[in-house]
A = this chain, B = another copy of it.
Amino acid sequence: MKIYETKTAPTPRRVRFFLAEKNIPMDYVQVDIEGGENLSPAMRARNPVAKVPVLELDDGTCINESVSICRYFEELYPEKPLMGTTPLEKAQIDMWQRQVEFGLFMQIGMCFQHSTGYFKDRMTPVAEYGKVAGQDAIKFLEILNARLANNEYIAGGSFSIADITAVCAIDFGRVVKVYIAPEQTHLQRWYDAISARPAAKA
A interface list, Cβ under 8 A from B: 48-49, 61, 63-65, 67-69, 71-72, 75-76, 86-88, 90-92, 94-95, 98-99, 102-103, 114, 123-124, 126, 128-129, 132, 135, 143, 146-147
Once the chains are docked, how many angstroms separate the CA of A99 from the CA of B135? 25
User: Are B48 and A68 touching (Cβ within 8 A)?
Assistant: no
Residues of chain B lying within 8 A (CB to CB) of residue A146: 48
Once the chains are docked, how many angstroms separate the CA of A13 from the CA of B129? 28
Number of copies of chain A assembled together? 2
User: Closest residue of chain B to A48, judged by CB?
Assistant: B143
Cβ contact of A143, chosen from B49, B88, B92, B99, cutoff 8 A: B49
Measured CB to CB, the closest approach of chain B to A22, in angstroms, equals 13
Cβ contact of A128, chosen from B69, B87, B128, B147, cutoff 8 A: B128
Pull 24 A–B residue pairs with CB atoms less than 8 Å apart, ordered by A. A48-B143, A48-B146, A48-B147, A49-B99, A49-B103, A63-B92, A64-B95, A65-B98, A65-B99, A67-B98, A68-B91, A68-B94, A68-B95, A68-B98, A69-B91, A71-B94, A72-B87, A72-B90, A72-B91, A75-B90, A76-B87, A126-B129, A128-B128, A129-B129
Residues of chain B lying within 8 A (CB to CB) of residue A67: 94, 98
Residues of chain B lying within 8 A (CB to CB) of residue A98: 65, 67-68
